[in-house]
Amino acid sequence: MTDKSTVNLALIGTGAWSGSVGDAMMKSDKVNLVTCFDPIPEKREAFSARFGCEHEESYEDVLKRDDIDGLHLATPNHLHAQQTLLAAEHGKHVFVEKPIANTIADGKKMIEACLKAGVVLMVGQHLRRLTGIRKLKELIDAGTIGSPIQIEGNYSQNLGFALTPESFRWRGDDTGCPAGSLMTMGIHHADVFNYLFGPIKTVFSYFNKLYIPAPVEDVTTTVFQYETGVLGYLGSNYASPKAVWFYVYGTEANLLCTITPPELPFEEYLLWWQQVDQDTDVQIFEKGKTGSTKVPLTLGNPILEEIDEFADCILTGTPPETDGEGALSALSFIRAAIESSQTGRQAMLAV
């Protein structure tokens, strides 16, 4: 805990997503973006100039700074564990973008290191923060749908055609981005599935590589079962036009949440995620009634919300909503799907 009213942060990794993060930090009354680091000098210098922060020549230089309270890691998946462990050793709080890591073992190391060091570990699973998803949770918990039966979802877009075989990040193994779109996008749905209905027990998955040039699967289909017996489906691909939706089935009503991403240049599209609520729609289909009723939603900013929550956790010692354990559960879904796709058998979740 601290008696300060704001926290000083450093952004690590100034790739495409950093523009949205930096923009949200500028809107926050709780954080000061002090410095940044990226191994590519031109990228960190451009980010520094854009957002008026300093930049460092190495990750170690960031860690040595006594004026930095926490780090926001927007780096490749396979670097998350090493960077988090070093941050914890230096007493720095950590916000890491999803997934927590590529492997369960690395995720557990991160949780243990931050717990031992007494620093916050928060993971950027922002999809649950959309007001549409919050409304689904509210209606489910209020008993509006009756008893839950089934849930379905899909998170896809044709980003895969822009990926190239030489892009190191997109190798389909643990040094890159295993499971492709399922790890990159579908892990948000896995987190929301846990958020809405609790622990998932088993999955059965098919992965195929059909169209994109990068050496990673571009279409995945996963069916799964909750511990309660509720069943579900998750689809994710890198080849179709954008699709982001959830369908919840209950004995008294069904709920449909549709998110409609606009067609924008990629950097503008990433900035749009701060205004995603304006393009989110929730409908309820009630038993005995024809058609659906649109559910009113408020407007928020899920990226700013999680940045402000990270600051609050640092300032007050309050645990984050999207903590390491929750992120490990979402990652466990992806790892079980990978196992199932390789063995052709149902797989149990490890966490």
Helix, coil or strand: residue 178: coil
Question: How distant, in Å, are the alpha carbons of 64, 95, 283 from that of 89?
Answer: 11, 15, 47
Task: Look at residue 349 and give its three-state secondary structure.
Answer: coil
User: Would you say the CATH fold of 127-300+332-348 matches that of 7-125+304-321?
Assistant: no
Query: Are the C-beta atoms of 130 and 277 separated by less than 8 Å?
Result: yes
pLDDT tens per residue across all 351 residues of the chain:
445 899 999 999 999 999 999 999 999 999 999 999 999 999 999 999 999 999 999 999 999 999 999 999 999 999 999 999 999 999 999 999 999 999 999 999 999 999 999 999 999 999 999 999 999 999 999 999 999 999 999 999 998 888 877 765 666 788 888 999 999 999 999 999 999 999 999 999 999 999 998 888 899 999 999 999 999 999 999 999 999 999 999 999 999 999 999 999 999 999 999 999 999 999 999 999 999 999 999 999 999 999 999 999 999 999 999 999 999 999 999 999 999 999 999 999 998
| 8 A C-beta contact, residue 337 and residue 205 | yes
What residue spans define the domains of the chain? 7-125+304-321, 127-300+332-348
pTM: 0.96
Q: Is 106 helix (H, G, I), strand (E, B) or coil?
A: helix
Name the CATH superfamily housing domain 7-125+304-321: NAD(P)-binding Rossmann-like Domain (3.40.50.720)
Q: Estimate the crossing angle of helix 187-197 against helix 131-141, to 10 degrees.
A: 30
* Level-2 CATH architecture, domain 127-300+332-348: 2-Layer Sandwich (3.30)
